[in-house]
A = this chain, B = another copy of it.
């Protein structure tokens, strides 16, 4: 079903059909009704692909989440899906690859001319971040930060969180302290650790056991709903 076919059926021009499905386009409600009626009969839906080609906007946002094992991410994903749908955007998900080889992912992603990229649980090589910038594709990091100021990022206040944990433990009367790191060189981990150390330092505590955990646990097997 194409707009031309609908136009023919409705006895109007193809442009009229296009205008019918373009919010705010200049069209009389009479013509509009005719088109809508024909569209319904023929089961017509505008072709988003063709539209994208000419408007240069795909209304697709790429979301890159290397893994979903961390329970936090599915929650985020669901929320993201809801929010994007509300704005009539669509979510192209890239997941299930190791953190290392994200470059080929971007190659794919660029080909779809996505309107924006949300990076969670992965980072962008500086080369690619530059390419996105020069291509005019907005990139936002989620739960990550970076020094490059071209890239926006959304995170929680990890340092504050670490500090509060420290206060909490001290207030609980604890006497010996430790810290189990996540991915050691992630900004998330650095910030939490810093806050924790600072918090304890405020109480004159400097002796803190340290271990690296990498957020690891035995790999989950597929489970049944």
A residues sitting closer than 8 Å to B (CB atoms) are 43, 45-50, 52-53, 58, 60, 63, 67-83, 85, 88, 90-97, 105, 107-108, 110-113, 121, 131, 134, 143, 156, 161, 182, 188, 215, 220, 222-225
Contacts and interface: CB of A to CB of B under 8 A. Distances in A.
Contacts of A74: 68-69, 71, 73-74, 77
Given A73-B74, A81-B97, A82-B97, 6 more contacts: A60-B92, A67-B78, A71-B74, A81-B93, A81-B94, A121-B225
A97 B85 contact: yes
B70 A77 contact: no
25 contacts: A45-B107, A45-B110, A47-B53, A49-B113, A68-B74, A71-B71, A71-B74, A71-B223, A72-B222, A72-B223, A73-B74, A77-B93, A78-B96, A79-B96, A81-B93, A81-B95, A82-B95, A82-B96, A83-B96, A88-B108, A90-B92, A90-B108, A90-B112, A156-B224, A182-B225
A223 B75 CA distance: 8
In this complex, the member of A43, A47, A48, A69 whose beta carbon has the largest number of chain B beta carbons within 10 angstroms is A48
Contacts of A81: 93-97
B70 A75 contact: no
A113 B72 contact: no
Contacts of A92: 60, 90-93
Contacts of A90: 92, 108, 112
A111 B48 contact: yes
A156 to B, nearest CB: 6
Closest 6 CB pairs of A and B: A82-B96, A81-B96, A81-B95, A68-B74, A48-B111, A74-B74
A91 B161 CA distance: 35
A1 B107 CA distance: 14
Given A45-B107, A95-B77, A96-B85, A225 B70 contact: yes
